Amino acid sequence: MKKSGKEFLVGCLVAFAVLLLFVFGWLMGVVGPFSKEAHFRLLYSFAGGVEVGSPVRVSGIKVGKVDRLEFLPAEEQGKNSGATVRVSISVSPRAAIAVKMDSKFFVNMAGIIGERYIEISPGSEASAILSDGSEVRGVDPPRIDQLLSQGYGVFGRIQDFIEQNERTITDFLAQTNKLMGEANKLMKGDDKRRLFTLIDNLNLITDDMKKLTHRLTTPEADEAYTEMRELIRRAHQVDKDGLKKFFQEEGIRARIF
């Protein structure tokens, strides 16, 4: 009897521990016995460091996790805009209603060196809810490694350019420094007064040009332009041969000379 009582007590403790573990998992969102999660499959060309168990968030709130990662067969890659990876995720029912047909699926990072996670951008209210088990194309994350590699290449070319043209750049900087020095001297003593006088004269010239331009846009100026154009038009219509013959007549010559 004592042995049976001890076994019963141990069994109760084990059952209680399992119950506590189950409740803890339910509170943490690992298990959900009273609700059915929605599952989606996302296609990416680059997973961006997402792993199995990485969180899934909607508007920054954790609502699920990544269940599986797999490579797409070669025959399926061409049919899915060059996608090479399929990411299977599960989302809680309370958040699944916010996942619409036009929702976007991003691979984000928490902080500079934080964990990677799937961020779901809710779609518009007019769009229909994305059905359970749907497969959609995700938004590929930026390739930081490629950007760094390209940046190193650009910096290398800049360094090579500076080394090849070091003398030219040095001369340019020296001339610029000399120019700034001359400008500084110009702003002192009599030269400074001359400079200000020059600026005042330029301002006066600018005012005169402004007045002249204003007068050229008046109705009287437009009328003068019209008359000049008419005069030029009539001059082009003069018969050159007839005019030449007229001046070559003896009577005309006598009157003129």
For residue 113, the model assigns a pLDDT of 66
E strand segments, the chain: 38-44, 55-58, 61-71, 85-91, 104-109, 116-121, 135-137
- Give the pLDDT confidence of 27-69 residue by residue, as tens digits: 555 555 545 788 999 999 888 888 998 999 998 889 999 999 9
For residue 56, the model assigns a pLDDT of 92
Q: Which residues of the chain have pLDDT under 50?
A: 34, 251, 254, 256-257
What is the rounded distance in angstroms from the CA atom of residue 55 to the CA atom of residue 49?
12
What is the rounded distance in angstroms from the CA atom of residue 139 to the CA atom of residue 106?
5
- CA 227 vs. chain centroid, Å, equals 56
For residue 91, the model assigns a pLDDT of 92
For residue 15, the model assigns a pLDDT of 79
For residue 257, the model assigns a pLDDT of 45
- Rounded to two decimals, the pTM is 0.47
For residue 115, the model assigns a pLDDT of 82
Strand partners, 109: 116
For residue 254, the model assigns a pLDDT of 47
For residue 66, the model assigns a pLDDT of 92
- CA 142 vs. chain centroid, Å, equals 13
φ, ψ for residue 140, nearest 5 deg: -65, 135
For residue 35, the model assigns a pLDDT of 55
